[in-house]
Structure 1
Amino acid sequence: MVPTPIRYPVIVGPTAGGKTALGVELAKRLRSPDDEPGQVVTADAYQIYTDLNIGTAKPTLDEREGIEHHLIDIAGLKDRFTVHDWLHRADPLVAQLRTDGITPVVVGGTNLYIKAFLDGLFQAPEPSDEIKAQVEQMPQPERRAMLAKVDAEANARIDGADHRRTRRALEVYLQTGTPITELQKQWDADKPTRPEAVLVGLDWPIETINTRINQRVKNMIEQGLVEEARAVFDADGFGPQSREAIGYKQLIAHFEGRCSLDEAIERIKIDTRRFAKNQRTWLKRLRIRPGSLWIEAEGRDATDIANQVADHL
């Protein structure tokens, strides 16, 4: 038994990189003085939704191995849920666990949630109604062309099909005259607000992660992802936000007759690999956090890595 540490882990890494299994193994090791295991605090923007299970890689009861998991299945499919909503639940939860002598094990999935948890929310100025209207009226290609001129880094980082984030980046620039990338760098440079939280990053070669992603998608299809998504679709269950989850968004296009099933499955693989690429950008920003631990995960199992992390804590 490893005694309850003053510090606690916050796990990040690429999708399909073994974060869930590592979280469970760590929770089993980081026990309280009363021999209570740690508890997982999930930081994932889509595992919050009920009924989105297979496609979000939500851990099954068997995979949880009796470890309590928090902040999953907390929102209905039509609910809008933001990083603010997650943080307002995570903050008191982590504080209460620590008060009770239980080690929280924060497991990432959405790096914005992790960044906000570690360093606070990024507070960009609210644009005026006039600027919002100006950007809203612009066609997306025009928005992207403008963003490429005023903030090349944001243009490269934000997916071309992501209208919301593209609008936001332009609104911030037009309101402040400063690219959102520069404002975010200032955010990155701020002193960490949770020195007791130890960032644990899993590093993987890109080729290996891409192979793991393709295998994960294959496994999800075999486990019934198409049937799960179809049931929600037929019940008109998806909301504007939940329908954007990778794995479901592509299958919705198939259900609506816009592509074949094979094309939808291939699109899931492509979009997941693209998501992993975006994650790498986030991980570079997180890597500068003082005291963080980064681990080459290829060829190692969750038990081995958990032992290393527990020793570090």
Structure 2
Amino acid sequence: MPSELPALDCWFLTGVTATGKTRIALALAERLNAEIISLDSMAIYRGMDVGTAKPTPEQQAAVPHHLIDVVDADEDYSVAQYVDAAHAKIAEIRGRGREVLFVGGTPLYLKALLRGLFEGPPANWELRQEIEREVAEVGNEALHARLEQIDPIAASAIHPRDTRRLIRALEVFRATGQPISHQQMEFDDSRRAEDCRVFVLRRPKEEQNARINERVEEMVERGLIEEVERLTADGRQLGRTASQAVGYREVIEFLAGERDRASMLERIKTRTRQFAKRQGVWFRSLPECRFVDIEGDVDADTLVEQIVALAPGQ
């Protein structure tokens, strides 16, 4: 456990995809005299704007935003790199006498900021090679299904195509007999929600799913297909991490003639709903999170006052 976790007394506004975080975040940042640090693992990538629902240039001009458009989409960017960069930004923002507000929906980033990074037991190369052979024989999807059975929390955070993390999670379980997520929780110095400023926006399930479906339709209308065409022009490919972003793989399959438009849309909607479900599992596993239930059109200023009133020390 790192001796210093500078993000512990920062503000966090998070929630599953399509909850409506951005509008509320702008109002909360104004109320707090805060600058925003993105808590989104895909907003890191330049050129991935429509499909990640990145804040618009106007929104970024209204409140200073950080850790957006950091690297190109064909590069990889690790959790450790993000945490280091976030800590540096926290120091900069506080040096200007302003509050720090993290906004986004990547639970792994949130957990790393609140508790530090868990390295886990040393590598077991014999087991790792054994699992690598299994990947070659039965494929990532089959092994991901096994991980869901033994460690659903870890499986919710690991994409089936993320072979490296998938193998590591299975390796740790076979080596220790314990799910890696359980060991992370034992390692973590978690805190009560009442002691933290971590607010998770939550909507009723049916409303949330309807918002997701609507957002997918809007993204395609706003140019998601054209965005993917630009990112993959001249034979370029998305990097291993960026390619995990929901929607991009489906559009690539559509452009390759492997899906028609209707199939692409339905697949993106389904995957986005599944992604939101996994996000919810993560948030519920973190005792630092305080859920704020909302429904329908929300008055941003009223909700912001409710959030501020709930924060410790207010």
TM above 0.5, yes or no, is yes
Taking structure 2 as the reference length, what is the TM-score of the superposition? 0.86
SS in 1 for 2:36: strand
Unaligned ranges ≥5, structure 1: 1-5, 32-37
2:25 aligns with one of 11, 23, 26: 23
Q: Are 1:201 and 2:207 an aligned pair? A: no
Separation in structure 2 between the aligned mates of residue 284 and residue 196 of structure 1, nearest angstrom: 16
Q: Is the 8 A contact 2:144 2:160 kept in 1?
A: no
Residue in 1 that maps onto 2:4: none
Structure 1's 270 and 135: CA in aligned 2 closer, same or farther, altered over 3 A?
Answer: same
1:108-187 equivalences under 5 Å are 108-138=104-134, 139-140=138-139, 143-144=143-144, 147=147, 151=150, 153=152, 157=156, 161-164=160-163, 165-187=165-187
Q: Is the 8 A contact 2:107 2:279 kept in 1?
A: yes
Separation in structure 2 between the aligned mates of residue 144 and residue 86 of structure 1, nearest angstrom: 25
Residue in 2 that maps onto 1:39: 35
Residue in 1 that maps onto 2:291: 294
Structure 1's 106 and 160: CA in aligned 2 closer, same or farther, altered over 3 A?
Answer: closer
Q: Are 1:75 and 2:77 an aligned pair? A: no
Residue in 2 that maps onto 1:265: 265
- State the percentage of identical aligned residues: 33
The letter of the residue matching 2:203 is: W
Q: Are 1:49 and 2:45 an aligned pair? A: yes
Q: Is the 8 A contact 1:27 1:105 kept in 2?
A: yes
Q: Is the 8 A contact 1:118 1:193 kept in 2?
A: no
- Residues 241-298 of structure 1 deviation map (CA, whole Å, 9 limit, x = unaligned): 2222112111011122221122112111110000000011011012x22xx5421111
Taking structure 1 as the reference length, what is the TM-score of the superposition? 0.86
Separation in structure 1 between the aligned mates of residue 13 and residue 303 of structure 2, nearest angstrom: 12
Separation in structure 2 between the aligned mates of residue 79 and residue 160 of structure 1, nearest angstrom: 17
Q: Is the 8 A contact 1:18 1:302 kept in 2?
A: no
Residue in 1 that maps onto 2:223: 224
Query: How much does 1:132 deviate?
Result: 1.7
SS in 1 for 2:265: helix
CA RMSD, aligned part only? 2.6
2:56 aligns with one of 60, 63, 67: 60
Q: Is the 8 A contact 2:201 2:293 kept in 1?
A: yes
